[in-house]
Structure 1
């Protein structure tokens, strides 16, 4: 895997938008099915920008998978972040859904421990390349990176069928949040 740069951004947004277009948690934030793919792409754009500033963005060597990693304690509020937040509201969440999105984020933060973590915000593989071990190779490399940093890996998933895949890598479910769907909290220490 390699650390991605801005030349890789369009490809990473393509991979993650396609990978998450049917994801309950992403669709909860993206709201209306109208222009859904554009809204999801806007969410992935926001997440990419946040991770470039306060984490890492990775692309698999074959360029078929991507991961966004955040180090939450590094995240700061500044003018550029406020501008990104406004752009997210306008292009993804919608003004009418700001309260719902803020409540969701607040609930998630309450369930996450206040430790320095390797927060795997998104990992995705091109849908036509899934099942070939590409995501597993990327996950193994991410785990090695987290170990070098001596940070536990944390993530959430709303896709119940993904939990056995995460468990293969040593993740355990440590909590669950019921929104209009179930969000499962996993960690790997």
Structure 2
């Protein structure tokens, strides 16, 4: 499998793959609910953020996607503010702002002060999961981050994914049940 950087032309495909992979994810549902439209908008928002201050990788067979962000490269822009407002209107809702901000603040407290790669999403079309595509994509992200001399950080709610990450060199550095579901924080060294 070959991997390339995604661009705006890949947006809908990226969103579709990740929606399929994350529609039952507790952390995503905590922010976006379970409606397809809301989850898709959250993923579109994430896509734009990663295009601006990170990378989006897609397999050339168009079945696997990873979105990474470099937190230290995020910039304050009017476009970003408008994007945040659209996220509130289309996904989070005004009444859920406090819980969303509390979650984001809690997660950010677990980040290092030094530059790192944040693995925001990695997903494979469910029809072809279990065939090694995710592993190849994760190895690509790890190699890419290593060339940048950045550790990779992520959080996951899925117990079945923890062993997969551990097998690929991640370590659990914190756990929490603060939001009503297990949230595991992992990083590479």
Normalised TM-score (structure 1):
0.96
1:131 maps to: 130
Distance, in Å, in 2 between the alignment partners of 1:142 and 1:62 is 17
What is the total number of aligned residue pairs between the two structures?
Answer: 186
1:188 maps to: 188
Superimposed CA distance per residue, residues 50-105 of structure 1 (whole angstroms, 9 cap, x where no aligned partner): 00101001101211000110000111221000011011111111111011100000
1:6 maps to: 8
Matches within 5 A, 1:141-156: 141-156=140-155
2:173 maps to: 174
C-alpha RMSD of the superposition:
0.8
Matches within 5 A, 1:41-80: 41-80=40-79
Matches within 5 A, 1:77-156: 77-156=76-155
Distance, in Å, in 1 between the alignment partners of 2:96 and 2:76 is 21
SS in 2 for 1:115: coil
How far apart are 1:161 and its partner, in Å?
1.2
Distance, in Å, in 2 between the alignment partners of 1:7 and 1:111 is 34
SS in 2 for 1:67: strand
SS in 1 for 2:109: helix
Structure 1 segments unaligned to the other structure (5+ residues): none
Structure 2 segments unaligned to the other structure (5+ residues): none
The answer as to 2:164 corresponding to 1:165 is yes
Distance, in Å, in 2 between the alignment partners of 1:60 and 1:183 is 28
2:32 maps to: 30
Distance, in Å, in 2 between the alignment partners of 1:16 and 1:81 is 22
Distance, in Å, in 2 between the alignment partners of 1:118 and 1:100 is 25
2:22 maps to: 20
Show structure 1 runs of 4+ deviating over 2 A.
none
